[in-house]
Amino acid sequence: MDDKIVTKGLNAYFGDVHAVKGIDIRIPKNAITAIIGPSGCGKSTLIRCMNRMHEVVRGARVTGEVLLDGRDIYGSQMDPVLVRTKVGMVFQKPNPFPTMSIYDNVVAGMRLNGEKDWKRLDATVERSLKLAALWDEVKHQLDASGVSISGGQQQRLCIARALAVQPEALLLDEPCSALDPIATAKIEDLLFDLKDKYTIVIVTHNMQQAARVADFTAFMYMGELIEFGVTKKIFENPDKELTEKYITGRFG
Amino acid sequence: MNTYEYRKLKNTLASGLALACVILALIPLVYILAGVVMKGAPALSWEFLTNRTVGTGEPGEGIGNAIVGTLLLVFYASMIGLPVGILTGIYVSEYGNNKFGTAVRFFNDVLANFPSIVVGLLAYALVVAYLNVGFSLIAGSVALSIIMIPIVANTTEEALRMVPNSLREGALALGVARWRTVLKVMLVSGRAGIVTGALLAIARIAGETAPLLLTAFYSSYWSFSPTEPIASLPLTIFRNYNSPSEVLLQQAWGAALVLIIIVLTLNIGVRLFMRQKTKKSKAVKMRWMTRLSRRD
């Protein structure tokens, strides 16, 4: 199987804090990879390095390589803006633009970059909302504010918004931690449908969720990658003792 | 008295004290407003608003040229001060996480608390004397714009900082360039605060007197030229109030009332305009909506 995103000796810092320590990981194409681990272990920082969102934070710094289809996204020729259109991101808290309608939110990426063709925008809205399994719920209120719908719908709106710029990979940073079980189930179903077309990386605190949706699972601890492999193996027969302890809840 | 009653009493006392202070603070405000309206209203007439200032206290004098002068001064000062102030605010908030940004922020605070007469001196030295323009509308506008810039910059920075970081990251993560994110997401989300800051600055400079003494000077005639001295409402008030004539004194109160009305009208007008604009964008959204539903 091809690898979509490969990191080589990736280190990430916040000022003096070394958050991600020398990580080598190969994210397989068209599959769901889950990253699990305790709070503050560097999971979110790791995926934020994969679309150059880490450097947005003040004092943040990255060393090492992140290859997207074999090209280093930290190379001097690489435009971070372009990287982010290829690798989309969904955040922990749903963050639709409150000043925009649902319609505007979906095509925010296109419109903010100057797209004015109504037909293309209309088509993108419909396609993206259908992909995000939200079309039937909002098609009669596309003019409503992006924050007027429920939290679960807002999160799917954010997924639709990320899909609208036609990325190749999608990074999700604990996308369900603010949602109820029903909304969570909907997002998980959605991820399952999306993996044919997209490479998906999901950070989660919820081990059941990793076990349910992910093909591969990575376990991180204190900024280091402890173990990475097929989900079934990680959960049923991990190589490392630390992984087993975390998964069985006998930690610390 | 048990503990609960004691606590309740303290609570009542504290809120009573706070209320008393509010009333105390409101007294001068109401007193001034009422005084200006009562003493200024009798001076108001069509002639008063359209005739020029002469300064002799004869009947038929007005403040027309001072109204025009103040409007022109505020307009030109805003043309310079608003863009510079807003862009400075954007820089400090969005790009200023470095030593230079900290320095800019510091000097902004210093400048904001500068005595306005000193700003007037600076504009005098720069525009009136060095550039040899002489006492003029443009010199006055430069002085007022220097007073305006730190106010606008600070409120813009504050307004942008109030916009949640998640919106900034949301836009950046969609592959939207930094400057477009600032322009189309941050500024739009923070626009209420930015407009408030601009209005605050305009209200402040509309009433400035001291810096104009050294820059725009004064004129009893109609003047529209940027390089000529020009009349203004604050200076008319200042000049008339120093004269022994009862009529001129009355005119000073009238000019004060007109100044207050101008600032208030501007304030309310801009706010209404902003509301209108949000309605308009809603109407645009409705149009998309109907187009989409027709297609179904």
The pLDDT value given to residue B43: 86
Token duo for residue B131:
């550039």
Virtual CA dihedral for B145, B149, B150, B151, nearest 10 degrees?
90
Contact A143 B282 (CB under 8 A): yes
**Looking at residues A208-222, what average pLDDT do you find?**
93
**Looking at residues A76-103, what average pLDDT do you find?**
91
Which residues of chain B are within 8 Å of residue A93 when distances are taken between CB atoms?
166
Q: What is the pTM of this model?
A: 0.81
Q: Within chain A, what is the greatest distance between any pair of CA atoms? A: 56
d(CA A182, CA A190): 12
Contact A112 B176 (CB under 8 A): yes
**Looking at residues B215-230, what average pLDDT do you find?**
89
What band does B287 get if pLDDT is binned at 50, 70 and 90? low
With a cut of 60, say whether residue A135 has pLDDT above it.
Answer: yes
Q: What is the layout of strands, in order, in the sheet containing A17-28?
A: A17-28, A3-14, A60-68, A71-72
CB of A110 within 8 A of CB of A166? Answer: no
Q: What is the DSSP string of B27-38?
A: HHHHHHHHHHHH
What band does B295 get if pLDDT is binned at 50, 70 and 90? very low
Which residues of chain A are within 8 Å of residue B168 when distances are taken between CB atoms?
56
Q: What is the layout of strands, in order, in the sheet containing A169-173?
A: A87-90, A169-173, A199-203, A32-36, A216-221, A224-230
B36-65 residues touching A, CB cutoff 8 A: none
With a cut of 60, say whether residue B25 has pLDDT above it.
Answer: yes
pLDDT, averaged across chain A: 90
User: Strand A32-36 relative to strand A199-203: parallel, antiparallel, unpaired?
Assistant: parallel
> Any idea what DSSP says for residue A15?
T
What band does B296 get if pLDDT is binned at 50, 70 and 90? very low
Contact B167 A95 (CB under 8 A): yes
The pLDDT value given to residue B279: 61
Contact A122 B166 (CB under 8 A): no
pLDDT digits over B76-129, tens only? Answer: 999 999 999 999 999 999 888 888 999 999 999 999 888 999 999 999 999 999
Asked if B276 has any chain A CB less than 8 Å from its own CB, the reply is: no
With a cut of 60, say whether residue A147 has pLDDT above it.
Answer: yes
What band does A1 get if pLDDT is binned at 50, 70 and 90? low
The pLDDT value given to residue B104: 93
**Looking at residues B178-202, what average pLDDT do you find?**
90
pLDDT digits over A3-35, tens only? Answer: 899 999 999 999 889 999 999 999 999 999 999
ipTM above 0.85, yes or no: yes
What band does B283 get if pLDDT is binned at 50, 70 and 90? low
The pLDDT value given to residue B278: 64
d(CA B68, CA B49): 10
The pLDDT value given to residue A114: 83
3-state secondary structure of A134: coil
d(CA A247, CA A240): 11
The pLDDT value given to residue B288: 54
The pLDDT value given to residue B246: 85
B197 versus B289: the higher-pLDDT residue is B197
With a cut of 70, say whether residue B281 has pLDDT above it.
Answer: no
* DSSP β-bridge partners for residue A87: A169
Contact B170 A158 (CB under 8 A): yes
Which residues of chain B are within 8 Å of residue A86 when distances are taken between CB atoms?
175
Among positive and negative, which fits the CA dihedral A202, A208, A212, A217?
Answer: positive
Of B214, B254, B260, B255, residue with least CA distance to B233: B255
The pLDDT value given to residue B2: 80
Share of chain B above pLDDT 90, in %: 55
* DSSP β-bridge partners for residue B225: none
B254 versus A1: the higher-pLDDT residue is B254
Q: Tokens 């810096």 map to which residue?
A: B211
